[in-house]
Structure 1
Amino acid sequence: MRTLTKPWRVALAALLLLNISLPAFADSRETVDESRNVAGNEKIYLEVMSGEITIKAVNSNQFKIVGKLDEKATGYTLESADGFTRFEMTMPRQINYRGSEKSNAADLRIEVPIGSSIEFKGVNSDVSLSGITGGSNIGTVNGTISAVELANLVQLSTVNGEINSKDNSGQITLSSVNGKITDVGSSGRLDYSVVNGEIKARTSAEEVTVSTVNGDAKLKMTSTKQLKLSTVNGEIEAELANSVSPRISGSSVSGDIELKLDINVSARFDIKASAGGSIDNKLSDDKASKAKYGPARSLQFTLGSGDGSVELSTVSGDVELDKL
């Protein structure tokens, strides 16, 4: 059997000691492990400037937060009394992030009662939350929001990021600037808005409002009764199934609206186009008429008994009506 010489034994021991000590140097973030007994309908305020934050509703009257703070954090505050709980990760007043430093951002997992309401504020924060029925108001600047099975009043907003929404219900507002919104399985009342972004949605909400500026929207709706559309320099494609007498209104400026409806739709149609806009009607044999003076066009007709209404207008854009 070969034995190691003394120099080799010393080198091996030093290497082992270095490997043992590496984790301590690799992660200097402060650890958080806190819990509080709270009300089932607790009002919870969270402020985490940067990091990955997961918020999960659980069937217990407890607020719990575990994980690690941002490497640059100076600490945190946690206050809980009289139905209100507040957690804030404290940071230096002026701080700049680089891409290589994101790995040392906060990593926090939070549990809250199912019936609680949540308000979250962040800057470079990615937020995932699920199961909260008391209401959720989530805002971040440079981050992604993922939300599943939220209820009541739901407000999700980001500036430079995406929103992924699934199976949420209630009064829902989703807004993004320079980002994308994806919504699947939502119900209730919905308000989508993007600037320089994109919307993709499949929903059964009764009321839907869509607004885009320099952005596009593709919507597949079922049983929606009221629909409002607005776009500037964008394009909206809307399919509305299982809605015989919807109430639809919309406008575009240098943008296009394509609307597809059930073949048995019953509604009065009033479509207007000006400044070079066009109208393409594939729902019936009715054709748009041109104004006596100027480039304006208009189209009025009725399908079925005219129980619903469709009022669309465009300036320098196109309106297309088609069958599903």
Structure 2
Amino acid sequence: MNKSIFKYAIGTLGLAVALTANAREVDESIDAAADGKVEIINISGSVEVYGWSQGSVEVTGELGERVEELILERNGDKVLVKVKVPRNNSTNISSDLTVRVPDGSSLDVSTVSADILVQEVEGDQMLHTVSGDVETYAYGSDVSAQSVSGDVDVNGTGDDAETSANTVSGDLTLIGVAGAVSAEAVSGDILVRDGSFERAGLNTVNGEISFQGGLRDGGKLTAESVNGDVDIQFSGDVSAKFDIETFNGDITNCFGPKAERTSKYAPGWELSFTEGDGDGRVTISTLNGDIDICN
């Protein structure tokens, strides 16, 4: 072997060993209530949470070099998992955690620069990150998922719950959630699919909105975008009053009535009509974009 290549290989190996040594492995557990609350705080890295049938919370993974300690403690029905970092030093604190919790637990996960993944947890979920993606699976319990810079994905089972998803810069994808949903983005697309709703509020500033689901009797759907198309595809019959408006775009309506100009001096279109008994309410608007509505 060429000596320079050999030296490079040895140096690379040494660096890898050093990095491995600096990242401290963790493997701890504590007893937990079957339907208690688990709070997880990790500033940087990643958090993966999995529900299981055991009566304990287990934490495995790697802690950053400058992390002071992993706090794992129980107070009544609440378990705290916290990566403690130096107050004035944010370097080398990235920690990757895998947390297993009783599947009936409720969750409160907070991060700054970390992705969050949750699976097989049946309780309510509050998931918050500043810079990172959030992906979770909901089982008929309330979910609040927020990111400032990242995508948010919520996958449901069709059971009723309160689902809230927010991001400043990222896309929102909610599939299989039902009951009530709120989705808000500043710069990102919103997709809601495969659900039946009493209430749905979808708002984005720069992005497209796509709704593919059912609206229940007496239900309310609001979809608003400033710059982006809005596509509404209802599954099943709809009974509602419709108010639809776009300033710079077209309106396509499969229910029959045609849109009219808001003014002979302006480019906007508007459409109001009633479908069925009209006991629900559908409000759709965009400033710059097309609107399609069908079933």
TM-score range, shorter chain: 0.7 to 0.9
- Between the aligned partners of 2:190 and 2:269, the Cα distance in structure 1 is 29
Higher strand share: 2
Alignment of 1:8-157 (within 5 A): 24-27=17-20, 28-95=22-89, 105-157=94-146
Q: Partners in 2 of 1:18 and 1:276 — Cα distance?
A: 61
Letter in 1 for 2:189: E
Identical residues among aligned pairs (%) = 25
Give the TM-score of the pair, scaled to structure 1: 0.75
1:188 is matched with which residue?
Answer: 179
Q: Does 1:283 align with 2:255?
A: yes
Which residue of structure 2 aligns with residue 200 of structure 1? 191
Aligned to 2:294: 323
Deviations 1:175-205 (A, max 9, x none): 1111112222222321111111112231313
By how many angstroms is 1:55 displaced?
0.4
Q: What is the distance in 2 between the residues matched to 1:318 and 1:105?
A: 42
- Secondary structure of the 2:18 match is helix
Q: Is 1:214 matched with 2:216?
A: no
Superposition CA RMSD, Å: 3.4
The aligned residue for residue 150 of structure 2 is 161
Aligned to 1:244: 238
> 1:35 & 1:310 partners in 2: Cα distance?
49
Kindly provide the amino acid, as one letter, of the partner of residue 67 in structure 2.
A
Q: Distance in 2 between matches of 1:119 and 1:214?
A: 29
> What letter corresponds to residue 196 of structure 2 in structure 1?
A
Output one character per residue of 1:85-129: Cα deviation in whole Å (capped at 9) or x when no partner.
1121111224456xxx7xx83121111011111101101111111
Write out per-residue CA displacement over residues 2-59 of structure 1, whole angstroms, 9 at most, x where no aligned residue. Answer: xxxxxxxxxx9x99x9999766423112221111111111111111011122100111
Runs of 4 or more, structure 1, over 6 Å off, are: 17-22, 275-278, 292-297
Q: Which SS does the other structure have where 1:92 is aligned? A: coil
Using a 3 Å threshold, how does the CA distance of structure 1 residues 126 and 199 change in structure 2: closer, same or farther? Answer: same
Q: Are the structure 2 counterparts of residues 135 and 292 from structure 1 closer, same or farther at C-alpha, using a change threshold of 3 Å? A: same
**Matched length:** 284
Over alpha carbons, which structure has the higher Rg?
A: 1
Name whichever of 29-38 and 214-223 sits farther off. 214-223
Note the C-alpha offset of 1:231.
2.1
SS at the partner of 1:67?
strand
Aligned amino acid, residue 130 of structure 2: V
1:297 and 1:24 map into 2 onto residues whose CA distance is 65
Post-superposition offset of 1:322:
4.3
Residues 300 and 95 of structure 1: CA distance in aligned 2, closer, same or farther (over 3 Å): same
| Residue of structure 1 equivalent to 2:227 | 233
Q: Structure 1 unaligned runs (5+)?
A: 1-11, 246-266
Q: Is the 8 A contact 2:191 2:211 kept in 1?
A: yes
Query: In 2 relative to 1, CA 160–229 (structure 1 residues): closer, same or farther, beyond 3 Å?
Result: same
The 2-side partners of 1:180 and 1:271 are apart by 24
